[in-house]
Structure 1
Amino acid sequence: MAQDYYATLGVGRDASAEELKKAYRKLARQLHPDVNDAPDASERFKDITIAYEVLSDPQKRATFDRGGDPLRGSGGSGFGQGFSFDDIMDAFFGQNTGRGPRPRTQRGQDALLRLTIDLAEAAFGVSQEIKVDTAVTCTTCSGSGAAAGSEPVTCRTCHGHGDVQHVQRSLLGDIRTSRPCPACHGYGTVIPEPCAECAGEGRVRSRRSISVTIPAGVDHGTRIQLSGEGEVGPGGGPAGDLYLEINVRRHPMFSRKGDQLFCQVTLPMTAAALGAHIDLPTLEADVPDTDEDTKTVPLDVVAGTQSGDTITIKGWGVPRLRGSGRGDLNVQVIVETPARMDEEQRALLAQLAKLRDEERPEALMGVNHKGVFGKIKDAFK
């Protein structure tokens, strides 16, 4: 025997197939000529490869264990004889590079469709028909890709393997590599008479209608997954999924942040000063056939409300997408100062200013809203 193959790989004689592979991977990474420029790296790499070839083959390993020569009759060293480049790559990188015939039937790709809806539809949900343009199974050939009366036949070039072998001489011996068969493109079969409708693809593009239900509470950018409504795969394979990305139109009155609704109400200064009760339109007013009682909500503006104050109406916001209940409706009050007044109105307003001692009003400054003279007083305290 030229060498102790167990010692070469650094394993015991009772090593399992997995332990042999791990030992070879480790040494192959260290000794491969592409990563190790030591003078003896190429020879040592050849030795561990021969050792792995022998010990990974049950018959050769049994011959070696009995004291025989497992390489007798294999043409010398045995390297490159029945040990392909795919076997080396499997041990070196830990994966099988052999392809084999790939199936014609494959899963289709996912599709994305952007759907624009109103704010009320996003808040309360809506069901509607949408048009989608995707690949569907060819009805002429039922997805087989072959014309009527014909069927795929075994490829004569690769004999159904899906790949072809290429042998290349090197310092390490004969290295065999596998490539997809150019005749059948790796399928292992060819279609002599393709379907005229789908040209052998097993699928065609079609525009169709589907019914979708948008759940209540979706927001701008929300994606809804519709399983099996995407592209049909090659060979009539299962369809991928369709994703609906929601785009919400701007509303003329309401804005939204999460489950909160926001709006502004402009009131004359007299209503803000004296207080007022108004019926505020709700988002439900945009929903057809909604209950009349929900189209408005009472808004109580207390006397002395300032411009910019916010009044919160609980439970009149957007329904929560994941959970129960609704957010709130936040109403910002804008107090409008009259720009034009007649003589009588001016006289009444002047009289009010005199009664409130506001004929020469003090300017309010800063976050504490203290007048100039108030700040001067505080400075002398």
Structure 2
Amino acid sequence: MKKDYYDILGISKGATPAEIKKAYRKKAIEFHPDKNPDDAEAETKFKEAAEAYEVLSDENKKARYDQFGHQAFEGGQGGFGGGGMNMDDIFSQFGDIFGGGFGGGFSGFGGGQRQRTVKGSNLRVRVSLTLEEVAKGVEKKLKVKRKVQAKGTTYKTCTTCNGAGQVTKIQNTILGRMQTAAPCHTCQGAGQIIDKKPANADTQGLITEEETISVKIPAGVVDGMQLKVSGKGNAAPGNGISGDLLVVIQEQEHPKLQREGDNLHYDLYVSLPDAVLGASQEIETVTGKVRIKIEQGLQSGKILRLKGKGIPSINGYGQGDLLVHVNVWTPKTLSKEQKEFFESMREDEHFSPKPEQSDKSFFEKVKDMFS
């Protein structure tokens, strides 16, 4: 099980952006590669801290994490993951966190300057799901056009950077000799350049192919949630790593059910005779139709709660409910005999409103719904 991001940084959920940044900087300096050479455990903790900061420092990602946990960023085939971030990603994204104390390049775990790892671009696809698929979880097969290395493509070491992927410059300044590192302009940081490639490949030795990718979507996802399938984006040239496939969830509107978090709402229309005499009626749920009992004397505005008939929590915290909103249907046209009957009932005590203390007002019901 993945560690909680707040625990990794040693902060509470109510931490401010400044406190989050301060906590990450402390962890990053503690486990920095230059301070912990040849230490695999320190490398893991360094990556975990970077991953936690990447999410908690972004307002939108933090909100999704607070609501859905790690599931907000992970698909069925792996997700962000501590191993998903390489050292170049961390230094390129959060280099300002460390200040100038560690120089332009970094010696890394294991000593010596590391070769820069190039990552292919990410791909994004939308997947439309019915409410039933959201409730049960589903496996989708997606056809994706992605760039892959063409057969017959070979690479050779870049002569400009000697395979390092970056070039180092030393300049004399008023403060003394300063060393900076930048991606190699010849190989674009890959450390390799094309040696041979087929005629149908692009300048990086890549071609576009269609691939069918199976994605397991967990129950309880919400509209707009993004799942990540690692390594299924565009390939990178040479010995680089492939980008990721980002699967964006699009929830279809249901004709009869409305979703509110993990709960569902259903409008039930009941005839006046059924409301007076009682009956049973079939209603629709995400798992099929069920029959419910309508008690004698049922009032319009009553909310019937069907426990566990809603959407499963994506974090595994149980299942929502189905809230059935009762609407007693008043006929608009009546026959002569029907009118005479209701006229005779005007003064009947059984037809006079007598709300009980347990019958909540409209405003109380609204208050209960939002609490």
Q: Per the shorter chain, which TM-score range?
A: 0.5 to 0.7
Q: CA RMSD in A?
A: 3.8
* Alignment match, 1:94: 101
Match for 2:221 among 218, 222, 225? 218
Quote the offset at 1:270 in angstroms: 2.0
* Alignment match, 2:206: 203
For normalisation by structure 2, the TM-score amounts to: 0.57
Quote the offset at 1:331 in angstroms: 0.5
Query: 8 Å contact 1:107–1:233 — kept in the other structure?
Result: yes
Quote the offset at 1:247 in angstroms: 1.1
C-alpha separation between the residues in 2 aligned to 1:199 and 1:226?
A: 25
* Deviation larger for 233-242 or 300-309: 233-242
Q: Deviations over 1:249-282 (max 9, x none)?
A: 1101001122211101111122112222112232
**SS at structure 1 position matched to 2:346:** helix
**Alignment pair present for 1:242 and 2:235:** no
**Alignment pair present for 1:299 and 2:292:** yes
Quote the offset at 1:194 in angstroms: 4.9
C-alpha separation between the residues in 2 aligned to 1:271 and 1:130?
A: 48
* Alignment match, 1:131: 143
Query: 8 Å contact 1:101–1:160 — kept in the other structure?
Result: no
Query: 8 Å contact 1:276–1:302 — kept in the other structure?
Result: yes
Question: Is the alpha carbon distance of 1:176 and 1:105 closer, same or farther for their aligned partners in structure 2, counting shifts above 3 Å?
Answer: closer
Question: Is the alpha carbon distance of 1:191 and 1:281 closer, same or farther for their aligned partners in structure 2, counting shifts above 3 Å?
Answer: closer
C-alpha separation between the residues in 2 aligned to 1:234 and 1:307?
A: 66
C-alpha separation between the residues in 2 aligned to 1:173 and 1:261?
A: 67
C-alpha separation between the residues in 2 aligned to 1:277 and 1:318?
A: 24
* Alignment match, 2:134: 122
Q: Deviations over 1:201-259 (max 9, x none)?
A: 14333222111222222222333232222222232522233222211111010011222
Q: How does 1:20-39 map to 2 (within 5 A)?
A: none
Match for 1:352 among 331, 345, 350? 345
Structure 1 gaps of 5+ residues are 1-17, 19-91, 147-151, 285-294, 370-381
**SS at structure 1 position matched to 2:290:** strand
Q: Deviations over 1:159-201 (max 9, x none)?
A: 7776476877x88899898776665556666545555333341
Rg larger in structure:
1
C-alpha separation between the residues in 1 aligned to 2:191 and 2:210?
A: 33
**Alignment pair present for 1:332 and 2:325:** yes
**SS at structure 2 position matched to 1:345:** helix
For normalisation by structure 1, the TM-score amounts to: 0.56
C-alpha separation between the residues in 2 aligned to 1:184 and 1:362?
A: 83
**SS at structure 1 position matched to 2:273:** helix
**Alignment pair present for 1:281 and 2:293:** no
Quote the offset at 1:330 in angstroms: 1.0
Question: Is the alpha carbon distance of 1:174 and 1:301 closer, same or farther for their aligned partners in structure 2, counting shifts above 3 Å?
Answer: closer
Quote the offset at 1:108 in angstroms: 2.5
Question: Is the alpha carbon distance of 1:226 and 1:353 closer, same or farther for their aligned partners in structure 2, counting shifts above 3 Å?
Answer: same
**SS at structure 2 position matched to 1:261:** strand
C-alpha separation between the residues in 1 aligned to 2:339 and 2:232?
A: 69
Q: How does 1:1-381 map to 2 (within 5 A)?
A: 93-97=100-104, 106-141=118-153, 144=154, 146=155, 152=156, 155=159, 163=167, 190-191=193-194, 193-235=196-238, 237-284=240-287, 295-323=288-316, 325-356=318-349
Question: Is the alpha carbon distance of 1:363 and 1:304 closer, same or farther for their aligned partners in structure 2, counting shifts above 3 Å?
Answer: closer
Structure 2 gaps of 5+ residues are 1-34, 36-98, 107-111, 362-371
Question: Is the alpha carbon distance of 1:94 and 1:196 closer, same or farther for their aligned partners in structure 2, counting shifts above 3 Å?
Answer: farther
Structure 2 counterpart of 1:319, one-letter code: P
C-alpha separation between the residues in 1 aligned to 2:231 and 2:338?
A: 70
Structure 2 counterpart of 1:140, one-letter code: G
Query: 8 Å contact 1:132–1:210 — kept in the other structure?
Result: yes
Quote the offset at 1:337 in angstroms: 0.9
Structure 1 counterpart of 2:289, one-letter code: T
C-alpha separation between the residues in 1 aligned to 2:214 and 2:123?
A: 16
**SS at structure 2 position matched to 1:209:** strand
Query: 8 Å contact 1:277–1:300 — kept in the other structure?
Result: yes
C-alpha separation between the residues in 2 aligned to 1:315 and 1:175?
A: 64
**SS at structure 1 position matched to 2:238:** helix
Question: Is the alpha carbon distance of 1:201 and 1:254 closer, same or farther for their aligned partners in structure 2, counting shifts above 3 Å?
Answer: same
Q: Deviations over 1:68-104 (max 9, x none)?
A: xxxxxxxxxxxxxxxxxxxxxxxx9323336999858
Structure 2 counterpart of 1:321, one-letter code: I
Query: 8 Å contact 1:119–1:248 — kept in the other structure?
Result: yes
Aligned residues: 255
Question: Is the alpha carbon distance of 1:351 and 1:114 closer, same or farther for their aligned partners in structure 2, counting shifts above 3 Å?
Answer: same
